[in-house]
Structure 1
């Protein structure tokens, strides 16, 4: 919590005659107020400086909105426990500042397909180096699955907004609601193509997965943002379809903070939720739903939950879920869905049944290189980054974008 350490720092400041340094996940506007009111002499920002070492210079230049945000994912802190290089999910140059400087080669026209975190990062980097960039996105908005990740975990929205703003102030040509095809690319005649279309999220072969109260991760994403599909038309009632459609038409679902607040009052989900899938998406979704008053159980065959989360964030999140009463059923087998429950064999060998008004299947994501393969076969020079090449989440997308730009420009 941002201000946990600030009140004690202010009290200490009153009692001593030496400089006081406050710290602890403090955002820049709050830090400015604290120092301005004399409640601390300095505010320490360790992780923020790893995310953007130019933070002090940008603030002094009045460019605070250009500071690359820390998303508090604990990638940097977790590296301490693994003995590897210090890493940052949003700053791939960290620890490699002198090894990953792209050369400025002859200017090229690069088409980037997919405007999620990897695609936007690649586009903005290429633009900054003076290349001509066309960014193609099939959806109506920039962001890709980062929008859904930002809904479940608010700090991700800061990265989303930062990337969108950087694209907005760049010379990147953005084509929304556009499907990339060999014919379209032939008309654009790019020198290089980057495919950043993300993973595919199929429905695993679980008995009962066709029932109307069972949602896939893709169903949830579409429902939250007012999109439609034949499956959702079958699974949701008229009121839900109208509400989400109105939200999309008015732009309400584009406002993630509004959606987060609104879902505390209403969601088209029952009180008892079972999530099948204990990786990053499943446990963050469990946190999101618990905070909105649902009774949540997470079931998976994995022996440990939280794959995709960094070590420290996984430890903290799983501990918090357990302390809040979220049931975490690891090592489950024979998982099946019935009309009002999820049944499985627990890790102890006992048969179990958990009542469920709705079931969310949050697993089954995998890379999808079909578009990249087709474009390569058509004769284009193609690089695949992000989840399209294998699920790597935000850090994988951002690092992949940086590496692709180096390859293109050297």
Structure 2
């Protein structure tokens, strides 16, 4: 249960007397107060991604996609609702309207800076908007919705879509502080974590698609499609479900011991694999991609090396993403900006939670003492183990 509207409705209808909202309270610690005061639009609604659960299963500090301050209250001194005001009058340009760009723009605006956000595409939200259209991920749109609602209510923010920028266009704007959040794109050459040292042979006439293609609506002709999942997080399993719904005969191949292995950390793996089996997806685990031809995908057992061909009319490669850094490199070469920061997937392709965190960190660190930022990074609670002195 992650929707505040549903929570309030259930209480008012007498269905329940009390709701314990653990994950929603991580996303917004002030959830009950905001409901009480009628500030529903200000709530950072939990998206149910279970990134918080994954931290618990790994035994690492907790984190949250919606609330990047979670776990940083003591170490960095971050408050989920408060942020230091600007030091002086400055303007900032954020290029890219994905999760990192939106979070960076919002926090800079909250600090009081004049913010311009330029998105090359027709819609804001970046990968969040694209992925939220996939089966079961609709709630993920809340990452963009919350930030856009907050940004649109502020008088010191200008939002632009359909606005691709090159280095000359950035220079013409005359804004000295620039944050590049141009994201990353999925590779179509088969290079990934297990194929880096032995790239697969790809025939010129092989029909190859990437997650970006599928999410953009570019689908292969109906028939057999083989998905190679070297990412092993969640996107391949979700795309397999979508393609089955679209009428394809789907095979899912992964070098992992199970499908979407990372989701074991979020306690979802069993459900993911069970659903794919029920939908008729042919699953092939512990198999590494070695070659792609026009009518088949050749894979090898990760233990024995024995090869086999999986018939397919098209291949969907879910391997690795490459950073979109052309604008950043061009601006860096010019060297005429006061601030130039590369954030989000453009800096390091990772989870949505990481992109939001990076955007938040960039906004908090702007005009801050670098030594102070670094010092907080390594701040630790150290238990005093010295012997107690007896009176």
Q: TM-score, normalised by structure 2?
A: 0.79
Deviations 1:52-94 (A, max 9, x none): 1121122122221221121111111122222222221221111
Bigger helix share: 1
Q: 2:36 aligns with which of 44, 49, 60?
A: 60
- Report the equivalent of 1:276: 228
- Report the equivalent of 1:387: 345
- Report the equivalent of 1:312: 266
Q: 2:216 aligns with which of 198, 216, 222?
A: 222
- Report the equivalent of 1:396: 354
Larger deviation: 356-365 or 378-387?
356-365
Matched, 1:174 2:172: no
Q: 2:318 aligns with which of 340, 362, 374?
A: 362
In structure 1, the residue corresponding to 2:123 is in which secondary structure? Answer: coil
Structure 1 pair 336/314, CA: closer, same or farther in 2 (3 Å)? farther
Over the residues paired in the alignment, what is the CA RMSD in angstroms?
2.5
Q: Distance between the aligned counterparts of 2:16 and 2:262, measured in 1?
A: 37
Larger deviation: 189-198 or 277-286?
277-286
8 Å CA contact 1:124–1:170 kept in 2: the answer is: no
In structure 1, the residue corresponding to 2:104 is in which secondary structure? Answer: helix
In structure 1, the residue corresponding to 2:309 is in which secondary structure? Answer: strand
CA drift of 1:271 comes to 4.7
Larger deviation: 119-128 or 153-162?
153-162
Deviations 1:135-171 (A, max 9, x none): 0111111111222211122221222322332232233
CA drift of 1:402 comes to 1.0
Provide the aligned length of Structure 1 versus Structure 2.
Answer: 344
Q: Distance between the aligned counterparts of 1:319 and 1:155, measured in 2?
A: 21
Matched, 1:343 2:319: no
- Report the equivalent of 1:12: none
Matched, 1:159 2:117: no
- Report the equivalent of 1:116: 98
CA drift of 1:275 comes to 0.8
Q: Distance between the aligned counterparts of 2:47 and 2:205, measured in 1?
A: 37
In structure 2, the residue corresponding to 1:43 is in which secondary structure? Answer: coil
- Report the equivalent of 2:130: 148
Q: TM-score, normalised by structure 1?
A: 0.76
Larger deviation: 302-311 or 32-41?
302-311
In structure 1, the residue corresponding to 2:165 is in which secondary structure? Answer: coil
Structure 1 pair 209/277, CA: closer, same or farther in 2 (3 Å)? farther
In structure 2, the residue corresponding to 1:157 is in which secondary structure? Answer: helix
Matched, 1:378 2:330: no
Matched, 1:92 2:76: no
- Report the equivalent of 1:285: 239
Q: Distance between the aligned counterparts of 1:26 and 1:193, measured in 2?
A: 35
Structure 1 pair 294/65, CA: closer, same or farther in 2 (3 Å)? farther
CA drift of 1:203 comes to 1.4
Q: 1:50 aligns with which of 2, 26, 29?
A: 26
8 Å CA contact 2:91–2:115 kept in 1: the answer is: yes
Runs of at least 5 residues in structure 1 that lack an aligned partner in the other structure = 1-24, 225-266
Q: Distance between the aligned counterparts of 1:35 and 1:90, measured in 2?
A: 25
8 Å CA contact 1:208–1:338 kept in 2: the answer is: yes
CA drift of 1:210 comes to 4.4
CA drift of 1:293 comes to 5.3
Q: Distance between the aligned counterparts of 1:308 and 1:403, measured in 2?
A: 25
Matched, 1:298 2:252: yes
